[in-house]
Chain A
Amino acid sequence: MRGMDYVVKRTVFALVTVFVAITLNFILFRALPGNAVTGLRCGHCTKQFRESIVKQYGLDKSKWQQYVIYIERLAHGDLGTSTSDNRPVWDDIKQPLVNTMPMVIAGTVFSIVVGIISGVVAAWRRGTAADSANLWTALAFYAMPTQWIGLLVIFYIAIPLGLPASGISSNTLGILSTPSEWSVLSDRFSHMFLPALTLGVGLYGEYSLVVRSSMLETLGEDYVLTARAKGLRNWVIVWRHALRNAMLPLVTLIALSLGSIVAGAIVVEDVFSYPGIGLATIQAIDQRDYPVLQGIFLILTLSVILANFIADLVYFKLDPRVTT
């Protein structure tokens, strides 16, 4: 039952991490000098108004009480109220989250697919010009700041080809007549294409290099030699025998790079004015809307923890030998 032990261990770790993240979130925003009120753009409001706000946010209570209240509210799904538009934080960030998801997923899937294919080809054709060309391209894209790739994409792809490079849908769509579902969908897709491409290009380099070195290792294994001795075709050896085992490090890497995926998504949305969670973050920063910023940070952290947890389980499924 060591397997169950592993699952239990990872679950406990994920839960404790969630708790740590919540606490960190509280400390960063509440326990430090400079609270939501001093951050409020309220240079000339009256003392009474200040006090009422202090009361409204519960800042007059002790830190410990505030912490307990914060956790209680979170348990009820209450992320607080935005200071810029007085709406519940969750309402403010729900739509951006929904917008972000397909873009990030498309970009990540793109980077994984390109990373695997280029990595496998490079490993199979090791030492050739194709290998070193892939190595340097992957390295270069890895080293480029994502927002810069985005600017280059707008400059060299979007403008010459006339592809949409800003927003999530055309302003003109639906003015003259109710658009068909198909045209709405294709409009959405065309607006999502370049941000997802940018994100994918920024991420694939790391995956490609890891797949390559991991493939090189498995290609040297005895079972690959056996497969070759059996006279199997090259692609069967690569895809069925070698790649499956070479995928393990990639799973770990994807889990570890979730942070960079989130980071990439934030700046990509800024470059393309894509109304997702990244743009919401930037608006919250500009408006000093701490409750919204706090909510976004919590949501992003929780999704990364959750995805990490899933990766742990996937890894266990792929390789039952892991027990720690």
Chain B
Amino acid sequence: MSELIQLVDAPVPEEETKRRGIVREVLLGQRVAMIGLGILIFFTFVAIFAPWLEPYSTTQQVGPVYAPPSAQHLLGLDDGGIDMLSEVIAGARVSMLVGFSAAAVAMVLGGSIGLLSGYFGNKTDIVLMRITDYFLVIPDVPLMIVAAAVFGRSLVNIILIIGLIYWTSTARLIRAQVKSVRERVYVKRARALGGGHSRLVWKHITPQVAPLLVANTVLTIAIAIFAETYISFLGLGDPSTISWGRLIQNSLTGGAVFHKAWWAIIPPGLCVTIVILAATMMGQAMEDALNPRLRVGHLSVRRFRLRPLRGRLDSE
């Protein structure tokens, strides 16, 4: 029996390597996706080594309020006389942490719901997808505001709230993929040979949907960082941490506009924009390589996503 299952298992690694090949090909082939990856790696590096990279303390005044950029302070000082460059680096740490952790929460939750729903089908599917539909309709940011206001302002809460709100599109995507994988011949054979649910799901289906799940998670990172800027901007962020969203809020409440202090306004927002662009470009390139159906415009309209991709006529 185990030999037979071994035989059935055999094609899986082969297909898997083929898929990995596609991912590598796309990432290397598409300049934009590679640039996106490079930017993400750069900011992750900055986030990890933030305490060593900050040239000044982020809690001490080092000069006059809103001092313009100079050789000592490349990005000038903020409304408290704190070095902006140090704050932007410190902000990278919190924003990237929120982005990655919240995306991980969404990946686990959305992935499991998608797997269960797609694999078991029938009533499980109907119930889970209905729940997903309700979450899709309820506006995310007001829900986030309410949850953040009720649960209190800590970093862990913010990560959990964002993760628990943005799992829906992942669940739908994974469900669709699982449904098609489930019907493939090798899965049917494995089932006919007596493979249990957990074996089928873990050994045969999960490896097939995992790359797509990862691609989708990269996209969720962008959404999570975006959401964090909203929460912090509305004063619901963790008051003891500096994030890019908080820096944008500071520039408004500190009156940077009226001091003509562009150096306090531009850098944090620019960082958010660059990271979101990077994650979006990379995640979409990966997703499209793994699931060519997504390239077709009318199948690909999904929430909070866009795909500036090739239409049918682009290849002319």
* Residues of chain A having any CB pair with chain B under 8 Å: 13, 16-17, 20-21, 24, 28-29, 32, 34, 123, 126-127, 135, 138-140, 142-145, 147-148, 151-152, 154-155, 159, 205-206, 209-210, 212-217, 219-220, 248-249, 252-253, 256-260, 262-263, 266-267, 270-271, 281-282, 285-286, 288, 290, 293-294, 296-297, 300-301, 304-305, 308
Contact in complex: A209, B306 (CB < 8 Å): yes
Closest-by-CB residue of A relative to B299 is A249
Contact in complex: A210, B301 (CB < 8 Å): yes
User: Which residues of B have CB within 8 Å of A20?
Assistant: 134, 138
Q: A28-B147, A126-B313 are in contact. List 10 more A-B contacts (CB 8 A).
A: A32-B150, A135-B308, A143-B274, A151-B251, A151-B256, A152-B265, A209-B306, A210-B306, A216-B313, A297-B143
CA distance A153 to B217 in the complex (A): 32
A148 with B272: in contact, given A135-B308, A262-B139 (CB under 8 Å)?
A: yes
Contact of B248 among A148, A252, A297 (CB under 8 A): A148
B152 CB, nearest partner CB in chain A, Å:
8
Contact in complex: A270, B234 (CB < 8 Å): yes
Name B's interface SS. helix
10 A-B pairs with least C-beta separation: A216-B311, A263-B141, A148-B269, A259-B139, A143-B276, A213-B297, A220-B312, A145-B229, A143-B277, A209-B306
User: Which residues of A have CB within 8 Å of B150?
Assistant: 28-29, 32, 34, 290
Number of A-B contacts (CB under 8 A): 193
B119 at interface by CB-CB < 8 Å: no
User: Which residues of A have CB within 8 Å of B276?
Assistant: 143
A145 with B230: in contact, given A151-B251, A214-B297, A301-B138 (CB under 8 Å)?
A: yes
A-facing residues in B78-118 (Cβ within 8 Å): none
User: Which residues of A have CB within 8 Å of B142?
Assistant: 262-263, 266, 281, 296-297, 300-301
User: Which residues of B have CB within 8 Å of A34?
Assistant: 150
**Can you pick out 7 interface pairs between chain A and chain B where the beta carbons lie within 8 Å of each other?**
A16-B134, A32-B150, A145-B230, A210-B301, A260-B304, A270-B233, A304-B137
B43 at interface by CB-CB < 8 Å: no
Contact in complex: B229, A206 (CB < 8 Å): no
User: Which residues of B have CB within 8 Å of A210?
Assistant: 297, 301, 306
CA distance A43 to B143 in the complex (A): 28
Contact in complex: B137, A209 (CB < 8 Å): no
B186 at interface by CB-CB < 8 Å: no
User: Which residues of B have CB within 8 Å of A219?
Assistant: 311, 313
A249 with B272: in contact, given A147-B252, A271-B252 (CB under 8 Å)?
A: no
Contact in complex: A259, B251 (CB < 8 Å): no
Contact in complex: A212, B257 (CB < 8 Å): no
B203 at interface by CB-CB < 8 Å: no
Contact in complex: A263, B140 (CB < 8 Å): yes
A322 CB, nearest partner CB in chain B, Å:
11
Closest-by-CB residue of A relative to B144 is A263
Closest-by-CB residue of B relative to A255 is B137
Mark each residue of chain B from 282 to 316: 1 if its CB lies under 8 Å from any CB of chain A, else 0. 00000000000000111011111011110111100
Contact of B272 among A24, A145, A281, A301 (CB under 8 A): A145
Mark each residue of chain B from 136 to 158: 1 if its CB lies under 8 Å from any CB of chain A, else 0. 11111111011101110000000
CA distance A140 to B248 in the complex (A): 17
Contact of B235 among A151, A152, A286 (CB under 8 A): A286
User: Which residues of B have CB within 8 Å of A258?
Assistant: 139
A288 CB, nearest partner CB in chain B, Å:
8
CA distance A223 to B276 in the complex (A): 39
CA distance A298 to B136 in the complex (A): 16
Closest-by-CB residue of A relative to B280 is A143
Contact of A217 among B226, B234, B298, B302 (CB under 8 A): B298
CA distance A257 to B251 in the complex (A): 28
CA distance A307 to B251 in the complex (A): 34
Contact in complex: B138, A147 (CB < 8 Å): no
Closest-by-CB residue of B relative to A309 is B137
Contact in complex: B141, A266 (CB < 8 Å): yes
Contact in complex: A145, B308 (CB < 8 Å): no
CA distance A16 to B226 in the complex (A): 30
B76 CB, nearest partner CB in chain A, Å:
15
Closest-by-CB residue of B relative to A285 is B149
B236 CB, nearest partner CB in chain A, Å:
7
Contact in complex: B230, A253 (CB < 8 Å): no
CA distance A152 to B267 in the complex (A): 12
A67 CB, nearest partner CB in chain B, Å:
17
Contact in complex: A155, B312 (CB < 8 Å): no
Contact in complex: A145, B245 (CB < 8 Å): yes
Contact in complex: B314, A216 (CB < 8 Å): yes
A213 with B307: in contact, given A148-B269, A253-B301, A297-B142 (CB under 8 Å)?
A: yes
User: Which residues of B have CB within 8 Å of A135?
Assistant: 308
Contact in complex: A301, B139 (CB < 8 Å): yes
